[in-house]
Amino acid sequence: MTGRIDRLSSLEQLMLRASRRWPQDIGALVILDGTNLLEPSGDLRIGSVREAIASRLHLVPRLRQVIRHPRRGRGGPFWADAPSFDLRDHVHVSALPPGTDEQSLLEITQELRSEGFDPSRPLWGMWLITGLPEGRVAMFVKLHHAIADGMAAMSTIGAFLDVDPDTPVAPARPWTPAPPPSDPALLIDNVLRRLRRVGRAVSALARPGTTLRRAREAWPAIRELLAEEPASRTSLDRMVGPGRSVALIRTNLADVKEAAHRHGATVNDFLLSITGGALRILLRGRGEPVAATTVRIYSPVSLRRRAAGPQQGNLIAQMAVPLPLGVSDASDRLRRVATETRARKARARTSLAALLRGRLARRLMLVAVMRQRVNVASASIPGPTEPRYLAGARVLEVFPVLPLIANEPLGVAALSYDGALTIGVVADRDAFPDIDVFTGAMREELEALGVGASRTTFARSEGS
């Protein structure tokens, strides 16, 4: 094999190892208008869907690749073409009884989500789920976090969607797997990478002034992750177990933007603020003090330059935002969050992959993060502003689904699409037996800021 060997970054290796205990899958639940996908009998035209997916697979090469682990001395794991690839192993149909409600849909989605990937195949899957009311079809997509971060995952899904329902399906391009690199090639690549690292270290020593300046610039963001005052102890601070609860919330993007801008905030600030308000109500309901309580929440910062087409890999930094739960007024809280994030966004940030380089660095980083008691993860992802179509079927809604890890038992993600803002909530079942209280509190926070929310659905699962 000639050309560059595509090694996993240190962050992606960490995600791979973490998956042994906490599945690290980025997911999305998509609701489609099934008019063009269903036969009169109600059966899905799965052949049409697979043809549409096959015609675009060349745009996302990672979806036909597997992770290989070379022998000692040949460097870290790398991506290589799968020896064979059958789309039927990745695009499936799940038929539910006619009239299945949304809660049952979430339950089967959680079951699908709990299924582990076969490491001998590419680490992704897509399930088309029939039986929903009004002829709708659900599509659950998941891919391993090592393949893509949240932004890249959504661009990957978007690669299979059209802007016009009548877009013709092009024939699938022929594909032949490239052979994996040889042992000598892996050895040489590993040596060259080590030499480049030594070269960068020597260069840094040769320019102490520049190195110190960069260190000073990076320190505030690193301190934010590792050395700030730890968050308050609450019942949220617990290790994630196998069970999950999931909830969906719907609202209007224009209303959210108007409310956010009225308070000098962004949509991401808005999401952080209503999450903090909902946690305040939740913890008060559990009888825990909130007046002096601060919860810290992770919010990813994309380091990607805007580029057309699907992307892959993980190119993110992490921002840790303190949410003071003693603030009772929703408007005041939103303004405070906006002020806080504005200051934190101004800090120079290093990618997580760079911070986690080396086994010792990864271990120290994990210990420091656990000490900081960051128990919530959040993400706000901008999606298309106009409708999209899959094999001629209009995409009606898209709900993002985050993975949980370590002592972060709550993930709250929002995605904007075609004038709507949809929120997917994933929680550890044992840490959040009262998930309905949390989602109800989020709706209260939305209403307090002048934003309406339509129905909320939640479901629990027994295993991971």
For residue 349, name the pLDDT band (cuts at 50, 70, 90): confident
In a domain, 166, yes or no: no
CA distances (Å), origin 18, targets 101, 146, 308, 361, 366: 33, 11, 31, 16, 11
Query: What average pLDDT does this structure show over 212-235?
Result: 75
Q: Identify the domain boundary among 158, 176, 207.
A: 158
In a domain, 169, yes or no: no
Q: Is the pTM of this model over 0.75?
A: yes
Q: 139 and 273: one domain?
A: no
Q: Identify the domain boundary among 109, 133, 158.
A: 158
Q: For the segment 12-32, what is each residue's pLDDT rounded down to a tens digit? A: 998 898 899 999 999 999 999
Position 1 scores a pLDDT of 41
Q: For the segment 112-160, what is each residue's pLDDT rounded down to a tens digit? A: 988 899 999 999 999 999 999 999 999 999 999 999 888 888 889 999 9
Residue scoring higher pLDDT (282 or 369)? 282
Q: 131 and 247: one domain?
A: no
Tokens of 391: 């094999």
In a domain, 447, yes or no: yes
Q: For the segment 387-436, what is each residue's pLDDT rounded down to a tens digit? A: 999 999 999 999 999 999 989 999 999 999 999 999 999 999 999 999 99
Q: 292 and 410: one domain?
A: yes
Position 223 scores a pLDDT of 74
Q: Identify the domain boundary among 110, 141, 158.
A: 158
Task: Beginning with the edge strand found earlier in the chain, give each strand of the sheet holding 78-81 in spatial order.
Answer: 6-7, 78-81, 65-68
In a domain, 191, yes or no: no
Q: For the segment 151-181, what is each residue's pLDDT rounded down to a tens digit? A: 888 889 999 999 999 999 999 999 999 999 9
Query: What average pLDDT does this structure show over 332-360?
Result: 85
Position 243 scores a pLDDT of 92
In a domain, 82, yes or no: yes
Angle between helices 267-285 and 435-448 (to 10 degrees): 130
- Sequence-distant (6+) residues with CB within 8 A of 237 are 231, 373, 375, 407
Query: For residues 265 and 342, what is the distance between their CA atoms, to the nearest angstrom?
Result: 9
Q: 295 and 438: one domain?
A: yes
Q: 364 and 228: one domain?
A: yes
CB 411 within 8 A of CB 426: yes
Across all residues in the chain, what is the average pLDDT? 89
Position 71 scores a pLDDT of 93
Position 464 scores a pLDDT of 45
Position 448 scores a pLDDT of 95
Tokens of 174: 């022929």
Give residue for tokens 């052949």: 47
Position 317 scores a pLDDT of 86
Query: What average pLDDT does this structure show over 225-249?
Result: 88
Tokens of 168: 């013709």
In a domain, 172, yes or no: no
Query: For residues 339 and 65, what is the distance between their CA atoms, to the nearest angstrom?
Result: 43
Give residue for tokens 């016009």: 164
Q: 152 and 242: one domain?
A: no
For residue 307, name the pLDDT band (cuts at 50, 70, 90): low
In a domain, 179, yes or no: no
In a domain, 318, yes or no: yes
- Sequence-distant (6+) residues with CB within 8 A of 131 are 42, 95, 96, 97, 98, 99, 100
26: part of which helix (H) or strand (E)? strand 25-33
Position 214 scores a pLDDT of 66
Lowest mean pLDDT among 231-240, 347-356, 397-406: 347-356
Residue 455 predicted with pLDDT over 60: no
Query: For residues 440 and 32, what is the distance between their CA atoms, to the nearest angstrom?
Result: 26
| Percent with pLDDT over 70 in the chain | 89
Position 309 scores a pLDDT of 62
Q: 226 and 152: one domain?
A: no
Residue type, 277: G
Q: 111 and 236: one domain?
A: no
Size of the chain in residues: 464
Q: For the segment 84-106, what is each residue's pLDDT rounded down to a tens digit? A: 999 999 999 999 999 999 999 99
Domain CATH for 265: 3.30.559.30
Residue scoring higher pLDDT (82 or 302)? 82
Query: For residues 180 and 376, what is the distance between their CA atoms, to the nearest angstrom?
Result: 39
Angle between helices 253-262 and 267-285 (to 10 degrees): 90
Position 451 scores a pLDDT of 93
Residue 71 belongs to domain spanning: 6-158
Query: For residues 344 and 77, what is the distance between their CA atoms, to the nearest angstrom?
Result: 34
Domain CATH for 31: 3.30.559.10
Q: For the segment 369-399, what is each residue's pLDDT rounded down to a tens digit? A: 667 788 999 999 999 999 999 999 999 999 9
Q: 256 and 378: one domain?
A: yes
Residue 461 predicted with pLDDT over 90: no
Residue 328 predicted with pLDDT over 50: yes
Q: 439 and 351: one domain?
A: yes
Domains in the chain, number: 2
Q: 225 and 144: one domain?
A: no
Residue 368 predicted with pLDDT over 80: no
Residue 299 predicted with pLDDT over 90: yes
Q: For the segment 63-88, what is each residue's pLDDT rounded down to a tens digit? A: 999 999 999 999 999 999 999 999 99
Q: 301 and 404: one domain?
A: yes
For residue 2, name the pLDDT band (cuts at 50, 70, 90): very low
Count of CB atoms within 10 A of residue 71's CB?
A: 9
CA angle 435, 440, 443 (to 5 degrees): 135
For residue 60, name the pLDDT band (cuts at 50, 70, 90): very high
Residue type, 91: V
